[in-house]
Amino acid sequence: MDAWIICPFFLEGGRYTINDIHYVADSDRLIPAGETEFARDAAFGYKSSHLREWVEEKTGGRIPARSVASISIQLLRKGGPDAVCEHLCNLEKGSTCIVNAASDRDMAVFAAGMIQAEVKGKRFLCRTAASFVSARLGIIRKAPVLPNDLGINGERSGGLIVVGSYVPKTTKQVEELKSQCGHFLKSIEISVEKVAMRSTKERQDEITRTVEIADIYLRSCKDTLILTSRKLITGKTPSESLEINSKASSALVEIVQRITTRPRYVLAKGGITSSDLATKALGARCAKIAGQALPGVPLWQLGPESKHPEVPYIVFPGNVGDSNALAEVVKQWASVRISSTKELLHNAERGGYAIGAFNVYNLEGVQAVVAAAEDEGSPAILQIHPSALKQGGTPLVACCISAAEQATVPITVHFDHGSSKQELLGALELGFHSVMVDGSDLPFKENISYTKSIAEVAHTKNMVVEAELGRLSGTEDDLTVEDYEARLTDVTQANEFIDTTGIDALAVCIGNVHGKYPESGPNLRLDLLKDLYGLCSKKGVYVVLHGASGLPKELIEECIKLGVRKFNVNTEVRKAYMDSLNSSKKDLIQVMTSAKEAMKAVVAEKMRLFGSAGKAW
C-alpha cells in the first residue's frame, strides 16, 4: 500500500471538502463538520473540521497534521487527471492524502488520475464516501428504483423499517415519517433502557414483545417501523456509550432474526444498523446492487444464502437527506399505496385500455371486486351509488377504503351519481377518491353551475370530478329515466361545459342506457363518441361510459379504441348476486361465499374485456 486516501465528499449527503476543511450542508449554509451534531456523537465524536487535524486527532497523534498531504480543488480543475496522477505518484510511501472536492466532476477527475497512478503500479487504501465509488467505477446516475422495477408489487406482507441511528437528523426524519405515513404505518418503539441497562429477563421480554407484534403487523400487510427510543442514553465514558449502543444494536439484530414473516422490503436506518441487520440478522454474505431508493440511499437485493433471498434491502445512512427523505422512500415502497383515480385513468389513457368501476352494496361485493382485481392483476374502482350509501352509510364507505388500502393492486373508491348538493358535500368528507356530479336532469346552464360548485370544493381535496352531459335512459337502483327524457351529449355544449366546470372526466350519452338494453340490442353513436373523445383528449378530460352491462365484446372493444377509459358496471354484477341466492346452500357463510364467487367471475371477465387485466402496475 503506497498511501491512504481520505475522500469524504458526498454530494447526496451534503458533504464537501474545501481547503482541507470538511463541511456539511444545512439548507443553504455550509457548516464545518466539527460544529455539527455528528461531531458530538458520544462514541464516535470529534472536534476537528480541518481534515489534517482530524487525522491527527483520530490517530491519537500517531500521524501529525503536518505530515498529511492533500489534493486541492485548484489542482483538480486546472491540472486535471495528469496532475492528480503525478501528485499521487510523488507521495511518500505509507503517507496519508486528503482529497478536496465540491462537485461530482471533481470526483471524476480525481478517480481518473488515480487510475493512471494505479496503471503505473501504485496501490492505495481508500477511506471514502459513496461518491468516490460511483466515480471510480463509472456508475451512471439513474432514476430511483421502485417496487415495480423489481416486480414485488404482488407481495402480500408489510415492509420492515428499522431505525437505530440516534443523530438529530434521523429523529427529525422519523417524526416526519410518522406525520406523513401514520395513517398506514405501524410503529413499535424499543426501550433502550430495558435492552441495554436492565436485567437479562427485561431485555428478553422487550425483544419478545417487539417480535410478536411485528410479526402480526407484517402478516397483516402493514408496513412496520421498529425504532429505538429516541431519548439518547450515554455512558460516563466513550467506551461505556459504545457498550450501550452495542447492546441496543444487538437487540435490533435479535428482533429481526426472530421475526418469521418475510417482509416485502427492509429499510435499515443508520450505518451500523444497516450493516448489522444485513450480515448478522439476515445472514447476507452477498447482495446485488439494484440501484438507489433515493439519491445517496443504496438499494440491494439480498443474496440466496440470506434469510430472505432477493428481498429489497434499503441502506439509509443516518446523515443523508432532508427531513422528508425517509417518508418519501417509505411512501414509494409502502405496501399500502393508494393510487388516485386520476392516476388510474391516466395510465389507462396511456395504455389504451379502460378501468372497470363496479357498484358495490355490501362486504361480499367489495371482496368480489378486490379478489378479481388481485387475481387478474388489474386496477379497479369500487363505486357506491347514493341508494347504496343510504343503506350502508359510512361503514360501507369505510369498508371500501379499507379494502382499497389493503389490496395488492391499485383500487380507488368513487361516489356515483351525486344528484344533490347536500349528499355530494357530505360525500366529500367521507374519504372517497373521486365523485360524480350528476346534474344531467337540470337545464344546461344550471348543470354547469351545479357541477362547477362541487368541482371547486372537490379539487381542493385533490379528488377527481366526473360529470354527465346529456341524459341516459333506463333504471339504476330504482331511479328511472324514461326514453323520452333521454338526450345525447352535444359536442358544442360539451366544449363549454368542460371549460367552465373544470371537470376531470365526462360521462357521455351516445345511446347507452342504465340497466338492460332492448331486445334489438344497443345502438351506440360511435361517430359521436369519436368527436367527443377528440374534444376531451385535447382538454385532458377522460371519457366515461355508463351502462356497460350488456354491451357485446366487439362494441366494448370499439369504444375503448375510440377513447373510453372508464366503464360503469352494475346490472350484471347485481344479477350474479341475486342468482346465487337461488342456490340450495342454506348456511350463511356458504351463501356469502357463493355470492362472492359469482360476482367475482363477472368482474374478472369484465377486466379482461376492458383490457385492464395485467395492468395493475
pLDDT tens per residue, range 532-578 = 999 999 999 999 998 877 788 999 999 999 999 999 999 899 999 99
Average pLDDT value for residue range 135-141: 86
pLDDT of residue 28: 82
pLDDT of residue 39: 79
Task: Identify whether the C-beta of residue 406 lies closer than 8 Å to the C-beta of residue 382.
Answer: no
pLDDT of residue 474: 45
Three cell numbers written together for 80:
486535471
Beta strand residue intervals within 487-580, DSSP E: 505-508, 513-514, 542-545, 564-569
Q: Report the distance separating Cα 564 and Cα 533, nearest Å.
A: 8
A 10 A CB-CB count for 351 gives: 12
Q: How far lies 231's CA from each of 164, 173, 193, 252, 346, in Å? A: 12, 15, 10, 16, 46
Three cell numbers written together for 223:
408496513
Average pLDDT value for residue range 518-544: 88
Does pLDDT of 477 surpass 60? no
pLDDT of residue 393: 92
A 10 A CB-CB count for 614 gives: 12
Q: How far lies 274's CA from each of 77, 228, 256, 292, in Å? A: 36, 14, 12, 15
| DSSP β-bridge partners for residue 299 | 291, 314
State phi, psi for 585 to the nearest 5 degrees.
-65, 135
Three cell numbers written together for 62:
500517531
pLDDT of residue 518: 62
| CATH 3.40.980.20 domain extents, the chain | 147-333
pLDDT-based confidence at residue 482 (cuts at 50, 70, 90): very low
Q: Is 418 left (phi over 0), alpha (psi -120 to 50) or beta?
A: beta
HSE-up (13 A, CA, CB side) for residue 262? 11
Q: Report the distance separating Cα 605 and Cα 288, nearest Å.
A: 39
Q: Is 242 left (phi over 0), alpha (psi -120 to 50) or beta?
A: alpha
Q: Is 416 a catalytic residue?
A: yes
- Residue-wise pLDDT tens digits, 154-167: 667 889 999 987 77
Q: Which of 2, 20, 106, 416 is catalytic?
A: 416
Does pLDDT of 483 surpass 50? no
Average pLDDT value for residue range 504-528: 79
| CATH 3.40.50.10840 domain extents, the chain | 3-137
Listed in sequence order, the residues at least 6 apart from 592 whose beta carbon sits closer than 8 Å to its beta carbon are 363, 364
Task: Identify whether the C-beta of residue 109 lies closer than 8 Å to the C-beta of residue 77.
Answer: yes
Task: Identify whether the C-beta of residue 539 lies closer than 8 Å to the C-beta of residue 498.
Answer: yes
Average pLDDT value for residue range 35-50: 82
Does pLDDT of 476 surpass 50? no
CATH code, 147-333: 3.40.980.20
Listed in sequence order, the residues at least 6 apart from 106 whose beta carbon sits closer than 8 Å to its beta carbon are 9, 73, 76, 77, 100
- Residue-wise pLDDT tens digits, 367-411: 999 999 999 999 999 999 999 999 999 999 999 998 998 888 899
- C-alpha dihedral sign at 357, 366, 383, 218: negative
pLDDT of residue 155: 66
Per DSSP, the residues of 573-585 read HHHHHHHHTTSS-
pLDDT of residue 320: 82
pLDDT of residue 336: 58
Q: Report the distance separating Cα 592 and Cα 596, nearest Å.
A: 6
A 10 A CB-CB count for 205 gives: 14
Task: Identify whether the C-beta of residue 510 lies closer than 8 Å to the C-beta of residue 564.
Answer: no
| CATH 3.20.20.70 domain extents, the chain | 341-610
pLDDT of residue 521: 65
Q: Report the distance separating Cα 508 and Cα 337, nearest Å.
A: 30
- Residue-wise pLDDT tens digits, 153-212: 666 788 999 998 777 788 899 999 999 988 889 999 999 889 888 899 999 999 999 999
Does pLDDT of 478 surpass 50? no
pLDDT of residue 167: 73
Which helix H or strand E contains 71, and what residues bound it?
strand 69-71
Does pLDDT of 487 surpass 80? no
Architecture field, domain 3-137? 3-Layer(aba) Sandwich (3.40)
H helices present in 7-142, as ranges: 51-58, 73-74, 80-89, 104-119, 130-137
Domain topology for 341-610? TIM Barrel (3.20.20)
Of 493 and 154, the structure prediction assigns the larger pLDDT to 493
| DSSP β-bridge partners for residue 25 | 30
Average pLDDT, rounded, for the chain: 89
